[in-house]
A and B are shown apart, each in its own frame.
Chain A
């Protein structure tokens, strides 16, 4: 029986116990609250990783915008395809029958299906075995007391020493290594009808995933437009060309719905505020016109074959807006030797010198650097963009017009120099023409090297260099495509007498076709805007675009008009030669103005190589022949530049390798086909014009009229 004293003692002991227990309990509860707060507010990235799998974001791709030509014709479009996906965990065993069935359904060789499936099945089987055999994966408890205790101690010590438990990276790796493969793309994507048909067979473990796929219009490599259009990767990201340059505008905004799923993968509900509606990418009109491109393609190939050339380039632009209407680069297989470039570090040998001397005549070498990445059209270099060339006499027009502006070409001066001509610093120059006594107009018309050298002598080094800079030679046009070459201009610090003369005749300067057509546009502006140069664009301009924000004046209107007038006679001369060579060609209907150029091809060693000792700076009897023209004369709508790379030896022997011989006809034919397509009326005075006058008559009158107009102003 309990006494009163015992009862008091019990009360006291209970009280003491409560003094200890209650604060301990309340402290424990406080610790729990703090712990909850820590987990919720500060958190642990590893927990976020494990909690992240509760939802799944369903992404429905929005179609990528189309690339269109300037008239809205599709160049590259997107469509949806269905990629077969295998879930190896659901494939019945043995898998042979399944593989054959899927192979027949997808019309794919069995080995293309079987190999990846067999690998995945082997991986999953190995994983299962390792899970039961305890030979990998997380350590299992040992069988003896001692080992179990050791496991606990080891884990504790590892935790203490590492400072924190298994890091997130290790968890991820562990999960990836120890997770069975359940997503295996197999075979090629199929269209919707095929996918639906295969689904009806209910093949276990075979699913289809909808994906967007890019389709580029397939028509003779879109007449050489592939490098300009470019390419998208499997992820629909623009990788090359306009697809890359315009990716941010072309790519659609996919719709996203975040669904919460339970552990069995069943959808529960959509996450609040995590639904985004998608939007199709923007359709973009490029400035190119597929019809003009096709015309350029046909005429360039004709010209390249006629000239037995190794390649050719052509660019067609609208001089008013700077829009690029066509750009084409062709390379032709010709019997040409590879040049034997010695390694950069290789010592010079007597044989090398002999070979260089022997190679200086009677050989045709490969002058076009081959595209390194195989035959994929979009991967090929677009040489109008990437490969600079010596413009030769076509460059004289810019210097000539600038000299006119500077007042260095008196109206009634006649140059009565000898041919050849020795410059004050001793360089000997000769003209192709045998005529002597040039007026300044005739210097440009006859493409007189001597006249241009004299003009350059009247300029300072800085003035001539500034002219080259003003036309933006030596800098990229910024058209938006990758790998554009800036060309090559000798810096003023290294500029000398030789440079002064060479640049005036289009040597010692390298330009891209794009730079040339951009600069030449200053001669082809409508009345009142002559002398301004637009910036090139590969995007179609907005309707009503006046170009005011993207032009700059490079020469005076007076100089531009005068040069344009003189260059009409150059085209007239070219037309006469062309008529002799191609008597079946129709009479020209448009008066053009233009300039030809012929330049030797410099020996430029590829990376890691050097020029052989004793070799000249140029290939022998191998040229780049070009012709650039604008038209029609009275209201220019086009500029066309054609470069014929390395006309064949036969043409060289016949001395028919000049720009006006091989490139001029290409330019003329392009004008004669494109201008009607654009709805441009034939020039006044041509056969097709209402006046009924002969074109030559008009052409002959044109510069005279222009000069008189100029004089009137």
Chain B
């Protein structure tokens, strides 16, 4: 029987496989050919073997392993946070916060941090290469907020309970991230607040924070000229087609060039220097160009099926911590995918946010798969408990 967790993992595997293929396709470049038609020394053509041995394939293997490992982890221990004393919970929260902040600030440390295209988002890791602390913060905050919210118990409903602490933690993390990556900060903040609402935070408190959040967002935009450019270019990308509007126009032109069935795998044109960030943020445009509307629909369908399965796991999850974690994972993946898809299709302002499981990025793939594996593990434990208690299991797929 195929459980919801299995569906999630299968969808993730399918997206990941497609991601490996498309990242390799989008990463094609032009190699000089000699008069005899031979490639220059040291230049290897793209072959099936080269794809299998490529760095994205390696990341994908690591991601699948992480998903499988997390998928077999016992999740009952997560519920122990509900029984922690507030002082212990606070200590664990503080430790997690310090760790996350340390990682986030490490990008500015000489010799540790690494800048790409002027953005300091990476830290150097021996052997693994580099990783994105904001990715760790994104998933870490889901767990921290879920555990913290449950540990706060009734305090979450009192303004002077644990809520202010959680909000403060959320704001602090977001404030650090927003310097380099507003999109991820908005995603983490939004997911954190929604998890808090699900955990018991009163809704009107959320509504009360909306003006503050909007004001903060507006301030973040207006404080940065390049963000103003992005908003303006979203409203009218053709106003400066060679400048601020370039990303959006090229992305839409890439999609438009695909047609119903695409130009064919590997036959995209825009990836050859016209479409920026073609292997990462704008990979979906390359999919649309090479695989057409059919390929795009397949990707969307895989996401849709995965989200429905995740929602089922959230509903059935046994225990508030696991439920909130599953909810956080769902909202994070769905939010990230939606933002990326909106940006790529010109429905939202340009934002450097990756498409989960597809866009190139070792850290993103590994941590997303790990998170989805954890949710699958939650589903497995839920199923086992249901069987143990003699409950009725609902098959989700035949």
Contacts and interface: CB of A to CB of B under 8 A. Distances in A.
The answer to whether A and B assemble together is yes
Interface of A: 1-3, 6-7, 9-11, 13-15, 17-18, 21-22, 25-26, 28-33, 35-37, 39-41, 43-44, 46-48, 50-51, 53-55, 137-139, 141, 143, 145, 148-149, 151-152, 155-156, 158-159, 165-166, 170-171, 174-175, 178, 260-264, 266, 268
A15 B320 CA distance: 12
Given A40-B260, A50-B250, A263 B341 contact: no
A1 B200 contact: no
14 contacts: A10-B198, A14-B314, A14-B323, A17-B327, A22-B307, A35-B347, A41-B293, A48-B253, A48-B256, A139-B240, A155-B235, A155-B236, A260-B269, A268-B269
Of the candidates A26, A33, A51, the one having the most CB atoms from chain B within 10 angstroms of its own CB is: A51
A261 to B, nearest CB: 8
A32 B228 contact: no
Contacts of B238: 46, 165-166, 170-171
Contacts of A159: 235-236
Nearest to A20: B194
A266 B253 contact: no
A35 to B, nearest CB: 4
Contacts of B228: 141, 148, 151-152
B218 to A, nearest CB: 8
B290 interface: no
A257 to B, nearest CB: 16
Contacts of B341: 28-29, 32
Nearest to A170: B238
Given A55-B269, A151-B228, 11 more contacts: A6-B153, A6-B320, A13-B199, A14-B198, A14-B323, A26-B307, A40-B288, A44-B252, A50-B253, A148-B228, A174-B241
Contacts of A13: 197-200
B272 A263 contact: yes
Contacts of A261: 272
B338 to A, nearest CB: 5
Contacts, number: 198
Contacts of A165: 235-239
Instruction: Report, as a range, how many residues of chain B touch the other chain.
Output: 35 or more
A151 B255 contact: no
B319 A7 contact: yes
Given A54-B274, A152-B235, A39 B198 contact: no
A25 B327 CA distance: 13
B304 interface: yes
B334 A25 contact: yes
B117 interface: no
Contacts of B179: none
Given A11-B323, A29-B338, A260-B269, A1 B153 contact: yes
Nearest to A11: B323
A155 B256 contact: no
A447 B226 CA distance: 97
Contacts of B83: 1
A70 to B, nearest CB: 48
A15 B315 contact: yes
A41 B347 CA distance: 17
Nearest to B201: A13
Contact of A262 (B223, B272, B297): B272
B371 interface: no
Interface in B298-313: 300, 303-304, 307-308, 311
A166 B223 contact: no
Contacts of B331: 21
Contact of B269 (A7, A11, A54, A151): A54
A140 to B, nearest CB: 8
Contact of A39 (B231, B252, B300): B252
Contacts of A21: 194, 330-331, 334
B166 to A, nearest CB: 15
A10 B235 contact: no
Interface string B60-74: 000000000000000
A266 B82 contact: no
The 4 closest A-B pairs by CB, nearest first: A263-B273, A262-B272, A138-B240, A166-B238
B30 interface: yes
B345 A35 contact: yes
B242 interface: yes
Given A262-B273, A266-B30, A14 B347 contact: no
A48 B241 CA distance: 13
Of the candidates B308, B341, B347, the one having the most CB atoms from chain A within 10 angstroms of its own CB is: B341
A623 B194 CA distance: 107
B259 interface: yes
A51 B239 contact: no
Nearest to A168: B238
A371 to B, nearest CB: 51
B338 A28 contact: yes
Contact of A263 (B232, B236, B258, B274): B274
Interface string B268-299: 01101110000000000000100011001100
Contacts of B257: 51, 54
B82 A145 contact: no
B253 A152 contact: no
Contact of A22 (B200, B225, B252, B311): B311
Given A32-B342, A33-B300, A51-B257, A175 B347 contact: no
A679 B272 CA distance: 70
Contacts of B311: 18, 22
Contacts of B194: 17, 21
Given A11-B323, A40-B255, A40-B256, A138 B239 contact: yes
B324 interface: yes
B153 A2 contact: yes
B288 A148 contact: no
A661 to B, nearest CB: 76
A5 B152 CA distance: 15
Contacts of B237: 165
A148 B226 CA distance: 10
Contacts of A50: 241, 249-250, 253
Interface in B301-357: 303-304, 307-308, 311, 314-315, 319-320, 323-324, 327, 330-331, 334, 337-338, 341-342, 345-347
